[in-house]
Chain A
Amino acid sequence: MATEVSTEDAVELTGSSSAYGPDNPAPVIEPPRARTQRSPRATRTNFELYGWLFMRLSGVVLVVLVIGHLLIQLVLDGGVTKVGFAFVAGRWASPFWQGWDLVMLWLAMLHGGNGLRTVINDYAEQPNTRFWLKTLLFTAVAFTIVLGSLVIFTFDPNIR
């Protein structure tokens, strides 16, 4: 019962397909990332803790903000047909709705961004893939937040 498989041999012999035998075992399929003695040690930061807590708290706030937003925009008072430049301008004349939209923008982007970061951590196998996907994600999140905040603060209802 030969359960010992030398990985060094396996790597060398990947090319030969048919002649597997006791001295020439097929390569075993190792999981892409396994815990070994050389796995990185603790980083001693609370980042993941705060990330986890942020997801719970922002989630609760977002339920109110997003459902309220959807109700106002799509259901109440004539539904989606009423939404136009004038409608948005009227709403953003009030600091309350400016604040509402700003908070919703930031929380939604950070909440979604952190969620996608988790998905990338899970599913991207290669460190390189992970790095570039995360770079793309952070760029997109930062761009959307900056652009959105800029629009909310510099919105001019008399633009023409």
Chain B
Amino acid sequence: MSTQTLDNHSAALDAAESAASHLITIVLRVRRFNPEVAAEAQWVDYQIPIDPKERVLDALHKVKWEIDGSLTFRRSCAHGVCGSDAMRINGRNRLACKTLIKDINPEKPITIEPIKGLTVLKDLVVDMDPFFQAYRDVMPFLITKGNEPTRERLQSAADRERFDDTTKCILCAACTSSCPVFWNDGQYFGPAAIVNAHRFIFDSRDEGGEQRLEILNDKDGVWRCRTTFNCTDACPRGIEVTKAIQEVKRALITRRI
């Protein structure tokens, strides 16, 4: 009887082990900063077993829920739509919820840092106020003159296609915080604000394009862009950010000269 129980037990253990055999052990190297503990940020390693088909966000959840509840990061929808969890993973800006462990070489420690160029408040949480201030400054809303039409404002498919790419922005700040000009001078509007201005400048229904172009013609506007393409590389939605910025430049040149 006792032998049987032992056998059952080891069989159950075997089953558990075989179920876990697809798990691999990874090291998450997180750049942590807690102003209530120390003035300096430090790298902290977490060793966790995880399915390589899981995402970096799952690994962070595992750390937060099972190892250290004080790990702080933003995430809302966790499916690449809300744009909360942009972070610097292995030195590149990505969304933690769209990055699979197997795609970023799990044999080496995976480094996770907050996005650059914005004030770090705690661990991976940064102060997004300057980012959203730039967004607000380009007036990201429909501006029209005259009376409001009684029915919807119609637009041809071709007119809609003109700015289709820039409607995809989720304001995750991956582009702006990958821009070396923004790192050096946070007063630069940054790619995300220009992308959202582009979305309205090239919208046939909008009549505030001239105002937006005037704003972006300023010394912190599009002319500071050096076309390093960091923003295009960083965008998790695949928006051709640099192309959008260049289109705004071209619109300015053709309208002013």
**Interface residues of A, Cβ cutoff 8 Å to B:** 1-5, 10, 17, 20-22, 24-37, 39, 42-44, 46-49, 51-53, 118, 121-123
Contacts and interface: CB of A to CB of B under 8 A. Distances in A.
Nearest to A17: B39
A48 B219 contact: yes
Contacts of A3: 72, 121-122, 125
> Which of A1, A4, A35, A49 has its CB near the most chain B CB atoms (within 10 A)?
A35
A20 B119 contact: no
Given A48-B219, A49-B253, A28 B37 contact: no
B223 A29 contact: no
A48 B220 CA distance: 9
B214 interface: yes
A36 to B, nearest CB: 6
Interface in B231-257: 249, 252-253, 256-257
Given A1-B72, A28-B119, A28-B121, A33 B217 contact: no
Contact of A26 (B38, B117, B134, B185): B38
Interface string B169-195: 000000000000101111111000000
B39 A42 contact: no
Contacts of B140: none
A87 B223 CA distance: 43
B36 interface: yes
A126 to B, nearest CB: 13
B119 A48 contact: no
A1 B71 CA distance: 9
Contacts of B164: none
Contacts of A24: 36
B223 A51 contact: yes
Contacts of B252: 49
B253 A25 contact: no
B223 A42 contact: no
A83 B1 CA distance: 106
Contacts of A25: 35-36
A15 to B, nearest CB: 11
Given A5-B35, A53-B253, A34 B187 contact: yes
A42 B133 contact: no
A49 B222 CA distance: 9
B48 interface: no
A48 B223 contact: yes
Contact of B133 (A4, A5, A39, A121): A39
A138 B73 CA distance: 46
> Which of B37, B38, B220 has its CB near the most chain A CB atoms (within 10 A)?
B220
B208 interface: no
